[in-house]
Amino acid sequence: MVKVLVAAPIHPDAVKMLKDAGFEIVYEEYPSVERLKELIRDVDAIIVRSKPKVPAEVIEAGEKLKIIARAGVGLDNIDLEAAKKRGIKVVNAPRAPMRSVAELVFGLALALLRRIAYADRKMREGEWVKKKCLGVELHGKTIGIVGFGRIGREVAKIAKYGFGMNIMYYDVVRAPKEVEEELGAVKADLEEILRKADIVTLHVPLLESTRHMINEERLKLMKKSAILINTSRGAVVDTEALVKALKEGWIAGAALDVFEEEPLPKGHPLTKLDNVVLTPHIGASTEEAQRRAGIEVVKQIIEYLKSS
Ligand code: NAD
């Protein structure tokens, strides 16, 4: 019988799919490396999320192991070299969180531009801050999308069809003409986007070429009225430079879901600023994204194990 080790919580519908396929499920949440080495010995597949880590010693202990699945995006917790050496397939679900992250971008934009988070904070302190809450609309504004991949394009869709915004994007790769036309998206270089956009939103992966892509020099190019949204990876922004920009009013505000250090350390300078909205890396934390992630990887496991 095919045996699957589920080493992190996945959506119940995905568990049901495994059962319906006739697979035996071994469930243990976030086992240690030592425990994983025991559990993996006689399973055909393992499913993880951002945890637990699957290092070479675990992969080598999986005598029957054929496939490793990450129910989510990114494979940084899996030793890909070790898997490749043993001919073990590694899969993930990169499209699963696309819509959830894109929707969060607008949640953050509205929370900042309409001062929702600030007003809520003050209401709880018993303050009626109506006069300090003059906001701006999204309609007719320009959004600059940095990284025009899966999430970047979904953001563009909502910006265009939901809010009637103008769209500029920057990417190392040019999007197909049909995509540009459908979304009315204009490609520009990063500096031009920073100079013109009312909202700059980051959707690049973290690579050497994108680390601290948004630094002091580039923050200075942005309009004083513009805001920066980061739901990509914390280190795409130089946090120290951003704090300076926010304190000195080079930009109007920032909304951040990701940080150079996670969890964000208690009492961090960002937490002291009113022109900032902060969320604890919740881009993919929706019922739908979790379900899609589980189902996408389980489908791949079933297909692979039934055909091998
Ligand atoms: P994707 O690979 O589909 O798109 C990334 C785009 O960035 C690509 O079009 C690529 O060409 C472009 N790019 C790469 N290097 C670049 C550079 N140096 N300059 C300009 N463009 C560059 O990725 P995606 O699925 O859209 O994910 C985007 C980001 O969102 C990633 O950083 C991912 O880790 C992050 N993410 C965050 C959450 C969250 O919970 N906040 C959830 C999922 C994904």
What is the DSSP annotation of 122-168?
Answer: HHHTT---GGG-----STT-EEEEES-SHHHHHHHHIIIIIH--EEE
Mutate to test the pocket of ligand 1, among 202, 204, 211 (most ligand atoms within 8 A of CB): 204
Q: Distance of CA 91 to CAs 1, 78, 128, 306, Å?
A: 22, 11, 51, 15
Residue 115: CB within 6 Å of ligand 1?
A: no
Q: What percent of the chain has pLDDT over 70?
A: 100
Q: How many CA atoms lie within 13 A of 196 on its CB side?
A: 18
- 4-15: string of b/e by CB count within 10 Å (b at 16+)? bbbbbebbeebb
- The pLDDT value recorded for residue 190 is 98
Cα 105 from Cα 159, distance rounded (Å): 10
Q: Tell the residue nearest (CA) to atom 21 of ligand 1.
A: 171
Is the per-residue pLDDT at 55 higher than 90? yes
Cα 277 from Cα 108, distance rounded (Å): 7
Cα 266 from Cα 15, distance rounded (Å): 37
Q: Provide φ and ψ at 64, rounded to 5°.
A: -100, 0
CA 86 to chain centre: 30
Amino acid identity for residue 2 in this structure: V
Is the per-residue pLDDT at 145 higher than 90? yes
Is the per-residue pLDDT at 142 higher than 90? yes
Over residues 225-253, the pLDDT tens digits come to 999 999 999 999 999 999 999 999 999 99
Give me the helix-helix angle, 98-113 and 150-157, nearest 10°: 50
Residue 107: CB within 6 Å of ligand 1?
A: no
Question: Out of 73-82, 150-159, 291-300, which region has the weakest mean confidence (pLDDT)?
Answer: 73-82
CA of 162 from ligand 1 middle (Å) equals 22
Residue 101: CB within 6 Å of ligand 1?
A: yes
Average pLDDT score, the chain: 97
Q: Tell the residue nearest (CA) to atom 40 of ligand 1.
A: 283
Mean pLDDT of 278-293: 97
Reply yes or no on whether 292 is catalytic: no
Mean pLDDT of 38-50: 97
The number of the ligand 1 atom at minimal distance from the alpha carbon of 204 is 7
* Contact criterion met (CB below 8 Å) for 194 and 216: no
CA dihedral 293, 297, 302, 307 (to 10 degrees): 150
Residue 257: CB within 6 Å of ligand 1?
A: yes
- The pLDDT value recorded for residue 74 is 84
Residue 201: CB within 6 Å of ligand 1?
A: no
Reply yes or no on whether 262 is catalytic: yes
Reply yes or no on whether 268 is catalytic: no
Active-site annotation holder among 99, 233, 292, 296: 233
Cα 251 from Cα 29, distance rounded (Å): 43
- The pLDDT value recorded for residue 70 is 97
The number of the ligand 1 atom at minimal distance from the alpha carbon of 94 is 25
Residue 204: CB within 6 Å of ligand 1?
A: yes
Mutate to test the pocket of ligand 1, among 99, 101, 282 (most ligand atoms within 8 A of CB): 101
Residue 259: CB within 6 Å of ligand 1?
A: no
Q: Distance of CA 168 to CAs 87, 146, 176, 236, 264, Å?
A: 42, 9, 14, 19, 30
Residue 233: CB within 6 Å of ligand 1?
A: yes
Is the per-residue pLDDT at 308 higher than 90? no
- 65-91: string of b/e by CB count within 10 Å (b at 16+)? bbbbbbbbbebeebbeebbeeeebbbb
Cα 251 from Cα 227, distance rounded (Å): 6
Mutate to test the pocket of ligand 1, among 70, 180, 203, 281 (most ligand atoms within 8 A of CB): 203
pTM for the model: 0.95
- The pLDDT value recorded for residue 209 is 97
Is the per-residue pLDDT at 102 higher than 90? yes
Mean pLDDT of 38-55: 96
Residue 141: CB within 6 Å of ligand 1?
A: no
